[in-house]
């Protein structure tokens, strides 16, 4: 009964979460490719309500963010919190519950979106029964995560855990406040907030879902796996700590930059714009920290596809966190708002940063979990090329269409008359939508290669049993029989 030994890390749940994450990546990106094709051939829904763009597009974003993204964050969070705490996961059974309950929410939630159950709020589309389930699972996630930290055998709480902790706490706060609604029936509720106030609350949530999940959560992943892969300590630990607090403080203000020139108070828009620009500092502090950490491991970069993915993800992280504040400036936003530029920006973050850092982490993690070599380094290198090509093509196509839309919509002639009709501008975007479809197929193809590669690596192998290594003296945290830290006695 090796499993019962508290000195063995609970890694089987990590493997299962990685498998689910890859599955959702394949399915969610397939839905993305499909909706990209509907821009070119609008009859591709074949008159079926569940294939209609308005329902399939939220399914795409939910499957990718909550299926692929959150499963990956749970997997890497559970893996790294054990290693950085030198202790087995707290309540492993609850961790398994989080794993399966979350997949059930993503699956049933996705189907409910196709059935037309939706709150309409972006990245919070799921209706109230799912909102309650998500809140409960999230609390369990927090109990497992912070419980593990509370039982740690090493004094400092490593920086990656701060970011995962920020993810758990802030997303819980945002989710609960934004989802408040009065239910009518199982599939319908009305928001507690109305109109302009609803908009402000929603984008406080929406932007910080991006902030604390897609940025902060994945920074947790980066802070653990980048030093591991580069075999180097973090360049400046103090910088990472300062950046963490600056990030946590300033991100939360940035939401209303999604409402520039909309019917919300100007001071709300202005604070959002200023804080978005402030945000550049902690974002790039992290970028510098990451680049400096990896700068001592360039030789390894040549032959390790996993590290290549992670370093490239840093580049796109830098790009996206520069582009974001620029787009939050009102005079830039006046062009970019409502256009494909926003979609391109999101994908430079989602493909270039989130997916790439996750892919790099999976290529590093999966072979280690089963104590084997990666099935094929060649396939992983091919995946890298496809992912890079797909991301660049996607961003370029959406820049071209987005900037065109923004400028052409606003264009007036010398007499003050509109220069172009909406239909003509829309029809002119067709080539860019074609390029975007190709980009999506390239990226999706790469993801399929990874799914195959990881499947072959895992096939027929068991998760290796790993025990926490001993902690050196100045850092060791002694524990009594009940696992309660004897901190007070020491202090």
Partner 1 sequence: MNALELHKKIEENAGLLIFGILLVSAIGGLVQVLPSLFQESLSTPLSGTRVYDAVELTGRDIYIREGCHVCHSQQVRPLVAEVERYGPYSRAGEFVYDRPFLWGSKRTGPDLHRIGGKYSDIWHEVHLLDPRQVVPESIMPAYPWLAERPAAGVGDIQAKLRVLRRLGHPYADADIAAAPQRLEGLREIDALIVYLQMLGTGLNADAADAADAHGGH
Query: Which position among 93, 155, 385, 486 is part of the footprint of partner 1 (CB under 8 A)?
Result: 155
Site for partner 1 in 228-247 (CB under 8 A): 241, 245
From the CB of 168, what's the least distance to partner 1, in Å? 9
Using the minimum distance from each CB to partner 1, give the nearer residue, 24 or 162: 162
Tell me which stretch binds partner 1 (CB under 8 A): 101-109, 142-150, 300-308, 435-443.
Answer: 142-150
**Min dist. Cβ of residue 328 to partner 1 (A):** 14
20 vs 223 by CB, closer to partner 1? 223
Identity of the residue, 231 or 266, whose beta carbon is nearer to partner 1 in the bound complex: 266
Cβ distance to partner 1 smaller for residue 149 or 448: 149
Name which of residues 370 to 429 contact partner 1 (CB under 8 A): 405, 409-412, 416-418, 422-424, 426-427
Calculate ∠ Cα 433-434-435, nearest 5°. 90
- Interface pattern 430-469 for partner 1 (x via CB under 8 A): ----------------------------------------
SS3 121: coil
Q: Is 185 in the site for partner 1 (CB under 8 A)?
A: yes
Nearer to partner 1, 81 or 306 (CB): 81
How many C-beta neighbours within 10 Å does residue 299 have?
8
CA distances from residue 171 to 159, 176, 275, 384, 435 in whole angstroms, order as listed: 18, 8, 19, 31, 35
User: Is residue 253 a contact point for partner 1 (CB under 8 A)?
Assistant: yes
Does residue 217 contact residue 256 with C-beta atoms inside 8 Å?
A: no
Nearer to partner 1, 35 or 369 (CB): 35
- Of 221 and 387, the one with the shorter C-beta distance to partner 1 is 221
For residue 412, list its beta bridge partners: 418
- 200 touches partner 1 by CB under 8 A: yes
Query: CB-side exposure of 93: number of CA atoms within 13 Å?
Result: 1
- According to CB under 8 A, which residues from 30 to 49 bind partner 1? 38-40, 42-43, 45, 47, 49
CB under 8 Å to 288, separation ≥6 — which residues? 235, 239
Contact 347, 392 (CB under 8 A): no
Radius of gyration of the chain (CA): 23
Four-CA torsion 128, 131, 135, 137, nearest 10 degrees: 120
**CA–CA distance, 251 with 244 (Å, rounded to integer):** 11
Restricting to residues 99-118, name those near partner 1 by CB under 8 A.
Answer: 116, 118
- Rounded to 10 deg, the angle between the 305-327 and 356-370 helix axes is 150
Residue span 273-292 as binding mask against partner 1, x where in contact by CB under 8 A, dash where not: --x-----------------
- Nearer to partner 1 among residue 315 and residue 332 (C-beta): 332
In angstroms, the Cα distances linking 270 to 118, 212, 239, 406 are 31, 22, 28, 21
Strand partners, 182: 190
Question: Strand, coil or helix: what is 74?
Answer: helix
Interaction of residue 5 with partner 1, rule CB under 8 A: no
Q: Which two tokens stand for residue 8?
A: 């063995």
Query: Does residue 199 belong to the site contacting partner 1 (CB under 8 A)?
Result: yes
- Say whether residue 265 binds partner 1 (CB under 8 A): yes
Comparing CB distances to partner 1, the nearer of 76 and 248 is 248
Take residue 74 and report the two structure tokens written for it.
């749970």
CB of residue 8 vs partner 1: minimum separation in angstroms? 23
Q: Does 93 bind partner 1 (CB under 8 A)?
A: no
**Using CB under 8 A, which of the segments 312-320, 335-343, 369-377, 443-451 binds partner 1?**
335-343
Distance (Å) of CA 341 to CA 120, 311, 336: 21, 25, 6
């Amino acid at each position: 009964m090796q499993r019962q030994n508290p000195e063995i890390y609970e890694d089987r749940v990590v493997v299962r979460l990685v498998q689910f994450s890859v599955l959702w990546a394949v399915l969610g990106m397939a839905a993305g490719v499909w909706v990209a094709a509907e821009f070119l051939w609008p009859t591709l829904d074949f008159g079926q309500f569940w294939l209609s763009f308005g329902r399939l597009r939220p399914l795409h974003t939910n499957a990718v963010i909550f299926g692929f993204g959150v499963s990956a964050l749970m997997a890497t969070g559970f893996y790294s919190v054990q290693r950085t705490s030198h202790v087995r996961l707290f309540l492993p059974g609850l961790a398994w519950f989080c794993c399966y309950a979350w997949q059930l929410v993503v699956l049933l939630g996705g189907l409910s979106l196709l059935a037309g159950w939706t709150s309409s709020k972006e990245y919070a589309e799921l209706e109230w029964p799912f909102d309650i389930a998500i809140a409960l699972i999230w609390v369990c996630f927090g109990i497992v995560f912070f419980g593990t930290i509370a039982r740690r055998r090493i004094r400092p709480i490593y920086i990656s855990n701060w970011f995962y902790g920020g993810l758990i706490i802030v997303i819980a706060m945002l989710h609960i406040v934004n989802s408040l609604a009065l239910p009518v029936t199982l599939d319908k509720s009305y928001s507690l907030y109305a109109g302009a106030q609803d908009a402000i609350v929603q984008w406080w949530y929406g932007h910080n879902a991006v902030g604390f999940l897609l940025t902060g959560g994945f920074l947790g992943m980066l802070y653990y796996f980048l030093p591991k892969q580069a075999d180097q300590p973090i360049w400046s630990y103090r910088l990472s700590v300062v950046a963490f607090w600056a990030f946590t403080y300033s991100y939360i203000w940035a939401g209303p930059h999604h409402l520039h020139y909309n019917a919300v108070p100007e001071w709300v828009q202005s604070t959002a714009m200023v804080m978005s620009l402030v945000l550049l500092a902690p974002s790039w502090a992290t970028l510098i920290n990451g680049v400096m950490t990896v700068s001592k491991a360039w030789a390894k970069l040549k032959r390790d596809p996993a590290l290549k993915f992670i370093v490239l993800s840093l580049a796109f992280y830098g790009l996206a966190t520069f582009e974001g504040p620029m787009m939050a400036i009102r005079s830039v936003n006046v062009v970019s708002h409502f256009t494909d530029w926003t979609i391109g920006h999101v994908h430079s973050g989602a493909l270039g940063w989130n997916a790439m850092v996750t892919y790099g982490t999976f290529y590093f993690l999966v072979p280690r979990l089963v104590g084997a070599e990666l099935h094929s380094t060649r396939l992983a290198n091919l995946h890298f090329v496809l992912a890079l090509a797909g991301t660049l093509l996607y961003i370029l196509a959406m820049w071209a269409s987005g900037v065109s839309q923004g400028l052409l919509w606003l264009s007036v002639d010398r007499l003050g008359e509109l220069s172009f009709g909406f239909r003509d501008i829309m029809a002119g975007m067709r080539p860019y939508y074609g390029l975007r479809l190709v980009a999506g197929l390239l990226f999706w193809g790469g993801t399929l290669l990874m799914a195959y590669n990881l499947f072959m690596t895992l096939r027929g192998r068991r998760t290796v049993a790993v025990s926490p290594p001993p902690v050196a003296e100045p850092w060791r945290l002694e524990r009594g029989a009940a696992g309660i830290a004897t901190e007070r006695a020491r202090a």
